[in-house]
Structure 1
Amino acid sequence: MESGQASKTAYSAARYRAAHQVLEQGSIFRDPLALRLLGADAEDLEQDAPRRGMRLFIAARHRFAEDRLAAAVSRGVRTAVVLGAGLDTFAYRNPHASLQVIEIDHPDTQAWKRERLARAGVAIPPDVRHLGVDFEKESLGDRLDLDGPAFFLWLGVVPYLSDGGFGETLRFVAREPGNEVVFDYAQSPERMPAERRAALEARAARVAKLGEPWLTFFEPEEIAADLDKLGFGEIEDLGPAQLAARFFNRPDIPPETPGGHVLHARRR
């Protein structure tokens, strides 16, 4: 993202979440604050109907992440860290009384979010903390102190990070046994069939024009090996086929279909 400006892709993700509430009635992921936070921009969400694939992927990744977080809370985790929070609303509808939430994002995006929260009349709960960090220029380890295992929600961020920025943040998450993380990642366009590759490359070109290019791609076997080296176990990696079967009642997608993935891992 450009210095001095809020993340434009954070806005796009929020719009997809809001559109899911309207176009699919939140059938996969319920977010009662999505429309309020989008404000007047929500009036024309019907025109987003053609972007169904990305919209449902974003809904599924949030559903998966918050399901895994609920399970972690039941095991005793008491802190959730939202990395690259953007306009994510979890902290403001947190159903877990025992859970504190720390939102981390670029200071410019955080200021923009606070303005939208105020405009929407959404109060900031007392158990929510905001921390401004530029992941490419600052070390998360120098800014964040945690007491005990935490759950990291890291959605819609990894493709925009350099290898170095991704690796440093993942190593921080791996410091504490019992830490858990959910993040999404993209496979290389080179692995896609021609039609899907063209669509992916077109989307990559659009976000690059916004100043937020995709920088990092992974293959499932690569990310699994990296996580194992850092001490993560219990890895659950859902690609297009697994997401379709679990959330969309589509068991017919070939298992090795390339595309966007959502992954949960727990530090041993």
Structure 2
Amino acid sequence: MEHGGPSRTALVTAWARAVHQVADQPRILTDPLVARLVGSEAGAPGIDRPRRLFFAARARFAEDRVAHAVADGVRQAVFLGAGLDTFGCRNPYPDLRVFEVDHPATQEWKRERLALAGIDCPATATFVPLDFETGTLAAALAAAGFQRSEPAVFVWLGVVFYLTPAAARATLDYIAGQARPAEVVFDYLQPADNDEERAHLRQRADRLAAEGEPLRSFFAPDEIAAQLRALGFAEIDDYPAADLVAGYLDGQPGFEDEPSRALRASRVLRARR
């Protein structure tokens, strides 16, 4: 990411969610704030329907899991690498504290945009600035009032594949140390299993590296599941991107007849301990 604001991928994700509000039916995710947050830039890039649906579906899935956690009595939600996500400002649960963890530059830009758009976040939203080069997740959350001795749900979208395997494991270790029940929702990339897919992933990796956001990790589903079980996560659900999207379309057409190669490596997982 650039130190003057959010990363390109954070902006693209927000643009996709904004366009999804008006361009896609049925709508998977309802987000009345995102277009106001990104302003006139909402229509800037051309974002294909498969990616719009996936970005909407993974966010909807995460928010659905937060709803389940709240119903079970959880009162803390942590959005890791929150980017331009708006859940903290849309939070419908008055007893749920939402901690948004991200780079200070991203949060400064986001808060300026929220103010310009006249979007007021409730007192339940807490911005947690963290530069991993100078601080730690544990210290940043503790300083923000997060309670390690209380249950929590963690949302970690669009981040894991930009981390080294060791860095991803360190964050999972932290989450596993949370008081039960602790749940995490994240997306990741699985390795290609044929030459065509490997070539496509190389092109994608090269493009992102040129934008300053290189891909650093891939996980096979059985590999990541084994890591999670070793950390004590007993409940694991893992979905390919296309299946996750289809589950929210209720039998209506998705992108079955459209090119979706860009999503074949993408998976969304939730684990609970």
What are the residue-to-residue correspondences of 1:186-197 with 2, within 5 Å? 186-188=189-191, 190-191=192-193, 194=196, 196-197=197-198
**Cα displacement (A) at 1:164:** 2.1
Structure 1 counterpart of 2:42: 42
Structure 1 counterpart of 2:66: 69
What are the residue-to-residue correspondences of 1:22-171 with 2, within 5 Å? 22-24=22-24, 27-44=27-44, 47-48=46-47, 51-135=48-132, 138-145=135-142, 146-147=146-147, 148-171=150-173
> Structure 1 pair 131/33, CA: closer, same or farther in 2 (3 Å)?
same
Is residue 2:171 matched to residue 1:174? no
Structure 2 counterpart of 1:225: 226
> Structure 1 pair 198/121, CA: closer, same or farther in 2 (3 Å)?
farther
Give the secondary structure class of the aligned counterpart of 1:215.
coil
> Structure 1 pair 129/192, CA: closer, same or farther in 2 (3 Å)?
farther
**Cα displacement (A) at 1:244:** 4.2
Deviation per CA, 1:237-264: give whole Å up to 9, x if none: 11135324412437998xxx95211111
> In structure 1, how many angstroms separate the alpha carbons of the residues matched to 2:255 and 2:221?
20
> Structure 1 pair 245/135, CA: closer, same or farther in 2 (3 Å)?
same
**Cα displacement (A) at 1:210:** 1.6
> In structure 2, how many angstroms separate the alpha carbons of the residues matched to 1:101 and 1:30?
19
Give the secondary structure class of the aligned counterpart of 2:234.
strand
> In structure 2, how many angstroms separate the alpha carbons of the residues matched to 1:183 and 1:242?
15
Structure 2 unpaired stretches of 5+: 257-262
> Structure 1 pair 149/138, CA: closer, same or farther in 2 (3 Å)?
same
Native 8 Å contact 2:15 2:43 kept in 1:
no
**Cα displacement (A) at 1:38:** 1.2
Give the secondary structure class of the aligned counterpart of 1:261.
strand
TM superposition score normalised by structure 1: 0.89
Deviation per CA, 1:80-112: give whole Å up to 9, x if none: 111001000000111112111111001111111
Give the secondary structure class of the aligned counterpart of 2:166.
helix
Native 8 Å contact 1:192 1:259 kept in 2:
no
Structure 1 unpaired stretches of 5+: none
> Structure 1 pair 87/192, CA: closer, same or farther in 2 (3 Å)?
farther
> In structure 1, how many angstroms separate the alpha carbons of the residues matched to 2:82 and 2:35?
17
> In structure 1, how many angstroms separate the alpha carbons of the residues matched to 2:246 and 2:25?
20
Deviation per CA, 1:190-239: give whole Å up to 9, x if none: 32562x55444333322212211111111100010000000112111111
> Structure 1 pair 111/229, CA: closer, same or farther in 2 (3 Å)?
same
> Structure 1 pair 82/207, CA: closer, same or farther in 2 (3 Å)?
same
Give the RMSD, CA atoms, in angstroms.
2.3
Corresponding pairs, count: 259
Native 8 Å contact 2:6 2:106 kept in 1:
yes
What are the residue-to-residue correspondences of 1:194-209 with 2, within 5 Å? 194=196, 196-209=197-210
Q: What is the one-letter code of the residue matched to 1:19?
A: V
Name whichever of 32-41 and 4-13 sits farther off. Answer: 4-13
**Cα displacement (A) at 1:39:** 0.2
Q: What is the one-letter code of the residue matched to 1:93?
A: R
Name whichever of 118-127 and 222-231 sits farther off. Answer: 118-127
